[in-house]
Chains A and B, each alone.
Chain A
Amino acid sequence: MSEADSQRETLESWKQIAAYLNRSERTVRRWEASEGLPVHRREHQKQDTILAYVHEIDRWSRRRTRTSVHPSSASDSESPRSAASDTLSWGHEPANNYLIEHDAITRTIDCYIAGGRAGDGELMRPAFHPEATIAGYCQGIEYSGSIEHLFDWVKENGPAPNIHPRFARIEIFETIAIVYLEVQGWSGKLAGTDSRISEVFTLLKRDREWKITQKTFHWHDT
């Protein structure tokens, strides 16, 4: 196909974009949210109608493949920054890179909260690195081990729709970040009613996404 032809070609649904990139719809939606996949929204329409140009998708795809995924490679500590601005050349300035990382981190934590609210460990799993661990105290007893324990706990606890999280701190150091979350309103079979937990998350930047590597919690006594 010539360049001119592909300039006219469009993809007009998430399904078409997913098929073109040979990925699931969920993945391409995530790429739009966190990796700058160029999708245009038709704001004047009532529904969530979207449009993507094949030549823009191709360009994004080529850049994504070319960029190193190892932040501390020879191109040094600048590579996370250049990676972000590489995929976001459609009107985003390098000065916003900090904000881009900040937003990606809050999205990861939001995924965790969504799982807690739903009482569904599988829903929060993507927020975590596969080898993540958890540790903390609840009523004087220490719990520590694989993050699977958290997913099991969340499932057994059931939904906690009234969780109210407050971000007390987000700090970012290139490839690592730390988040302090104050959470009120935990409820459920195991949580009781209206419990308060202080949570500290460590996150790692991997392939332009942030994953929780460790969670420490302190369950406040009522």
Chain B
Amino acid sequence: MAVSRYATEYDAIVKTMQQYIDGGKQGKSELMRPAFHPNASFFGYAGGELAIGTAFLFEWIDKNGPAPDIHPRFVSIDILESIAVVRLEVDGWSGAEAGSGARMSDVFTLLRTPQGWKIIQKAFHWYS
């Protein structure tokens, strides 16, 4: 991929991811919904049970409320044509659902659609 195109795609991916981060920080799923593809997948163990589906995620974000101290780190951003894979390490989660000081490893797959880069998949591991 030509450097100029790489930078454009990279920045667009980060912009989509920022919508997700903002939604988490403010405890508002409506901020992060536009980042997700309508058929997005969501899987991960939360509090001992297996959580499946973006409806669970959005509800969790709204129930959790603001988490202003979350510190997300972009560990990797891989771009393979119409697919991108983003790894975030996030600590500092707080809120009604998260408790305090929780850390998560998040893996996102994004798809390059005509509407921009959209999260097609999120999986997470929650370190208790």
**Contact at A198–B124, with CB atoms within 8 Å?**
no
Chain B residues with a Cβ closer than 8 Å to the other chain, count: 33
For residue B83, CB closer than 8 A to chain A, the reply is: yes
Binds B, one of A12-20, A102-110, A127-135: A127-135
Q: Counting CB contacts under 8 A, is B90 at the interface?
A: no
Interface residues of A (CB under 8 A from B): 70-74, 76-77, 129, 131-133, 135-137, 142, 144-145, 171, 173-176, 178, 180, 198, 200, 202, 204, 206, 213-214, 216-218, 220
Are A175 and B44 also in contact (CB < 8 A) when A218-B80, A218-B81 are?
yes
User: Which A residue sits closest to B53, measured CB to CB?
Assistant: A131
- Given A173-B107, A216-B83, A218-B82, A72 and B41 contact (CB-CB distance below 8 Å): no
30 interchain pairs, CB-CB under 8 A: A70-B48, A72-B46, A72-B47, A77-B125, A129-B43, A131-B52, A132-B41, A135-B37, A135-B39, A135-B120, A142-B113, A144-B120, A145-B39, A176-B107, A176-B125, A198-B80, A200-B83, A200-B85, A200-B109, A202-B41, A202-B121, A202-B123, A204-B44, A204-B50, A213-B41, A214-B43, A214-B120, A216-B120, A218-B81, A220-B81
